[in-house]
Amino acid sequence: MLDLLVRMANPVLRPMAEGKLQARWNPAVSPTWDGRDVKVGYLEAFGRLMSGIAPWLALPDSPDAEGKIRSALRDKALACFAHSVDPTSPDYLLWRSEGQPLVDSAFYTQALLRAPKQLWKPLSSTTKRQIVTEIKGLRRVDPPYSNWLLFAAMNEVFLLSVGEDWDPLRVDIAIRKINEWYVGDGWYADGNRFHYDYYGSYVIHPMLTQVLDVLADAKIRIAGDSAEQLRETAYRRMQRYAGHLERMIGPEGAYPPIGRSLTYRTAVFQPLGLLAWRKQLPETLAEGRVRAATLAAQRAVFSNPTNFDEDGYLTIGFAGKQPTLGDVYSNAGSMYIVAESLIALGLAATDTYWTAPPISWTSRNAFSGQKFLKDYPVDY
pLDDT interval class at 51 (50, 70, 90): very high
What are the chain's domains? Answer: 2-366 (1.50.10)
Structure confidence at residue 223 (pLDDT): 72
Is the pLDDT score of 215 beyond 90?
A: yes
Q: Where are the alpha helices (DSSP H) in the chain?
A: 2-17, 21-24, 40-57, 65-85, 100-114, 125-137, 148-161, 168-180, 199, 205-217, 227-248, 270-277, 287-302, 352-355, 362-366
- How high is the pLDDT of residue 150? 99
pLDDT at site 235:
99
pLDDT, tens digit (0-9, with 9 covering 90-100), for 186-198: 999 999 999 999 9
- Please write the tens of the pLDDT for every residue from 317-340: 999 999 999 999 999 999 999 999
Confidence at residue 162, expressed as pLDDT on a 0 to 100 scale: 99
Length of the chain: 380
Q: What is the pLDDT of residues 79-138, one digit of tens each?
A: 999 999 999 999 999 999 999 999 999 999 999 999 999 999 999 999 999 999 999 999
Tens-digit pLDDT profile for residues 218-247 = 999 987 889 999 999 999 999 999 999 999
With beta carbons less than 8 A apart as the criterion, state whether 211 and 196 touch: no
pLDDT in tens, 131-158: 999 999 999 999 999 999 999 999 999 9
Cα–Cα distance, 167 to 119 (Å, whole number): 23
